[in-house]
Structures are given as C-alpha cells and as structure tokens.
Amino acid sequence: MRTAPTILHLDMDAFFASVEQASKPSLRGKAVVVGGLGPRGVVATASYEARVFGVHSAMPMAQARRLAPNAAYLVPRFGFYRAISERVMELLRALSPLVEPLSLDEAFVDLEAGGAAWDERSARLAGAQLRSDIRTVTGLTGSVGLAASKMLAKIASEQAKPDGLVVIEPGTERAMLGPMSVRTLPGVGPATGDHLRRAGITTVEEIAEAGEDELVRLLGKAHGHGLYAMALARDDRPVVAEREAKSVSVEDTYDVDIHDRLRVGLEVQRLADRCVRRLRGAGLSGRTIVLKVRRYDFSTLTRSETLRGPTDDPGVIREAAARLLDSVDTTGGVRLLGVGVSGLADYTQEDLFAQAAGERANAEGPLEEPATAPVEERPALAERRWPAGHDVRHAEFGHGWVQGSGLGRVTVRFETPDSGPGRVRTLRVDDPQLEPADPLPLVLPRAPRPEGGRGPDGGAGAVGARSAAP
C-alpha cells in the first residue's frame, strides 16, 4: 500500500443521461432514462432525477416506465458517448501514462507515475483541476476518489457522487470501511451478501472480526482470502495502462422472436459485418469466430470455429458465422443473436479462405468494397426510422432531436445545446426536408489565444466555450 492517496478513480456522473441533458436544454433538471426501448429493453443509465423514482441501470425498461411514466425515454447514441469519453480520457492521459479505463465513463489513474501528485495536498489539487477541466472541455461533471489503492479510490468516488471529490488518507482506511455494508467491497454481490448475512456478517468490520479461516469456510479459498484482505484495506493491484482485449463482439436482442430462418441468416451476416468494423476500428484481427444464439425458451447456445490464422476479412467471418448457424436449431424462434471474434492479434494472416477470395477477384476482376460502406445501417428513405433522442435536421426548422414517432408521424423538438428549450413540431416520417444529423458538440471549441497567451486587452485570451451543464 502507498503512503499517499495518489491513485485516482474518475466516474462520470450518470454519463449517458447527463450527455442527453446537456445536449437537450428541454431535458435539463428532468428525469431521463437511456436504454433499449423495446419490450425487452433494459436501462443503460438513468439521470439522478429518474433515480428518485427508483429507476436504475440494468432494470427492465418496462419496470422503469411503471416507476417513472413521465420521464424522457431515449435510445442511446453510443458513437457520441464514445467521442466525449475520448476527450475525457485525453485529460487523464495528460496526468499520467498509467490510465486504466474500465468503461466509457470510468477509469483509474496513477498520479504518482505521471508526477502529477506525490502527497495528499498535490493529489487533492490534481483531482480538483481534473474536475474543472472536464467541465470546461465537455460541459459535464465527474466524481473523483483519491486513495492509496484502487479499491479505496473507487469507494471514494462513489461517496463523492454526484459532482464531488473525496480523499481517503492513508491510515484512516480501516476506520472508514468498518461500518460500511459488505456490499461495498468489490466482488460482493447479492448472492455473496446474502450468504454472509445468514452467517451474521453484515458490515466490513464483521468480516475482519470473523477471521480469514471462517471466510474461507463460508466462501471458498480464493474468495475468502481475497475478501478478508479487502476488509483489512489491503489492495496492491497496480494501475494497468493497457488492458488487452480478449474478444470483439456484437449482439442484438429482438423485440419479437425471429422464426424465419432466412431472416436469422441475414441478421447473422449483418452482425458479422458490424463485428468486422469494430475489429478494423481497433486495428485487430482474430482466429476464432463465435456465434451466440438465445432461443425462445431463453436457452443460450454458443458455437465457435478456429481458423488457421487471424483475419479481419468480412467474407471469411461471414462464411464462418453462416457455417456455425447451420449447426443450430432455430425452429422455435430466436430472441438474441451475436457474432464475436477472439484469439485477437494486431496483424492479419493470409489463410485458405482469403486466398480463395483473392483468386476469385483475379478471375472475375477487382472486387472493391464500396467507398460508402455503411458504418451504421442506413435504411432506405421509405423505411427511415426515427429513434427517440437521436439527432435530425430540417431544412426549414434547423437542428433538433426526435421525441417519438409512430402512425406515420415523427415529433421533433428543435433545439441545440446552447439554444434554450426549443419548439416541438410533428412532421410526416417521410418529410423530404427531414434527415438524420450528427450530434452537435456540447461545448464550442476554445478560441485560439494570441501569441503569448494574452488577449488584445492584456487579459487572458477569450474562451469561446459554452457550458451546457444544467
């Protein structure tokens, strides 16, 4: 354990929902729920206003609607979230070379490794500056925890929520952890927590008092030893800069079970193409193709095929996924499909499939992937869908976002991050003046400062940032 709180944990506050509120002035201060809106959808993130009603992540969307019927329910815009996340990660990497992202909105940082902090005071200053920089760059808020270990830094950031900073000073860990629930410790979920409760153990201090041997008897050797160490605030895990990806995969859950075998095959091909785009976007290739099928009765089957060498060839991966599908009975219906690639490498290797494709290309002429290969599926104009919360632009009314659609109509609120609440209009779904649009930045880029860093009036250069935070 360190002698200074130089491990930082950042957790962006209700990230997806906060992005939506910052992007949509009419939703600021309102209950917002982001997730799958179909009958089988689940909540990805709920704003703090929605959490008051008991809505939380991983909750079935149908249950969330019963708890908060007047909330705004939006389809995620993951591409936009990733872009904002990258801006945040850039700020973290400026602090230290050791940044360990856990998700789009969460990461550990070793401040000591980057020389950004060496004691409690410098760590606190670094954390405060980071929160200020995040607000300036993104218009959003994040909570920061600082401690001498990863476990304690994460606990501190949870205590700091929302929009705060908590420092756990070395030497105070045991006293701080003691009265907390056992569920505070990593790896203690509902099942383990219930098992400990039946043994009369409900707090972290009671775990320490029970002793290591008793925990091993209750939970097994590995879990018992690990939990006892955490109860004593022992955690020597380092911040790891690069967490090697083990696989790349995509999957879709369908609102209505798919029975048509042809449709199932087409969905698998589409998922294979999406998986390839993720592979190529990460500069990876893989040897093992994996197909996941969840059937009508919730039984889940996985099938895999290992190639002779790593590939990112879409034709190879589509063909392998199709062969795997041939071995699965989908007669009763399919509710989920997924395609993944594992055995990853940062290079590709010619294999028999790719060579065969090359021979066909030479015989039949060059087969080029269209320059406009879709990054996301784009339905034809007559089949356009308007997901709730996604961005649109109208030739007459300007930029807006979809509030809802149905019965041949789409309702759009026309507003931008810095416009204030906008007007609502209902249009035909096939209105030729309405088209999907890219999200607008939450914060305008900073205006370049004159040489020397001073403005023309002798003061600091003007900053053209707009804060979209509520």
Active site residues: 106
3-state secondary structure of 307: strand
Residue in 122, 25, 197 with CA at minimum distance from that of residue 130: 122
Tokens of 466: 């707009």
Tokens of 377: 């599926």
3-state secondary structure of 318: helix
Element (H, E) at 434: strand 434-436
**CA dist 64 to 55, 112, 148, 315, Å?**
6, 42, 38, 41
Residue in 184, 131, 191 with CA at minimum distance from that of residue 156: 184
Residue at token pair 């039949």: 364
Backbone angles phi, psi at 94, to 5 degrees: -70, -20
The answer to whether the CB of 203 falls within 8 A of the CB of 179 is: yes
The answer to whether the CB of 17 falls within 8 A of the CB of 73 is: no
Q: How many other CB atoms are found less than 10 A from the CB of residue 153?
A: 27
The answer to whether the CB of 182 falls within 8 A of the CB of 202 is: yes
3-state secondary structure of 268: helix
Which 8-state DSSP code applies to residue 447?
P
